[in-house]
Amino acid sequence: MSDQVILRVAVKIIVPMILLYALYVQFHGDFGPGGGFQAGVIFAAGIILYGLVFGLRRAQKVFPTWVARLMAASGVLLYAGVGIASLLLGGRYLDYSVLAHDPHHGQHYGILLVELGVMITVCGVMITIFYFFAARGRETL
C-alpha cells in the first residue's frame, strides 16, 4: 500500500480544528449547547482520528497512555475537590456559592471547574478505551 498523502494532510488540518472546537464547546457551554461531556468526547475524537490515520504508536507519542489515565482519574478528583473546597469554605458539599465573595461568581467558578473535571475525565476515559481496544485488535492480526 503506497502512502496516502491526501488523507494525512487532510487529517493534519482537521484535527486541530476538532480540538479547538472541543474547547469552544467546553467554554461556550454556559451560553449555548454543550458542556464538559460533549467537549471531552469531541477532544477524544480528535485524538482518535489522529490515531486512526497516523497509527497507534504515533498517537501515543502525541498523547501518551499515562496522560490519558492520569486525566481519567484527575477529572473526578477535580470534581470532588471542588466539593471539598466548598465544604472547607463553610458551605455545603458542591455548593459553589461560597467559592467567591459574590455567590454568582462562586457559581461561575464552580461550574467552570466542575465542567472542566467532567471534560478531563471523559476525554481521558475515551482515549484510554480506544488505546486498549486498538491495541487488542493488533494482537489478533
Q: Which of residues 71-130 bind another protein (CB under 8 A)?
A: 72-73, 75-76, 79-80, 83, 93-94, 96, 103-104, 107-108, 110-111, 114-115, 117-118, 121-122, 124-126, 128-130
Please state, in angstroms and rounded to a whole number, the distance separating the CA atoms of residues 51 and 48: 5
Q: Which of 66, 88, 90, 101 binds another protein (CB under 8 A)?
A: 66
Nearer to another protein, 54 or 89 (CB): 54
Nearer to another protein, 89 or 111 (CB): 111
DSSP line for 89-140: TTS-TT-GGGGSSSHHHHHHHHHHHHHHHHHHHHHHHHHHHHHHHHHHHHHH
- Regarding 17 and contact with another protein (CB under 8 A), the answer is yes
- Regarding 10 and contact with another protein (CB under 8 A), the answer is yes
Query: Residue 90 Cβ, how far from another protein at the closest point, in Å?
Result: 17
Query: Residue 89 Cβ, how far from another protein at the closest point, in Å?
Result: 15
Provide the terminal-to-terminal Cα distance of the chain, rounded to the nearest Å. Answer: 17
Q: How many CB atoms are located within 10 Å of the residue 140 CB?
A: 5
Give helix then strand counts, H and E, for the chain: 5, 0
Cβ-contact 128, 72 below 8 angstroms: yes
Query: Residue 141 Cβ, how far from another protein at the closest point, in Å?
Result: 5
Query: Residue 66 Cβ, how far from another protein at the closest point, in Å?
Result: 3
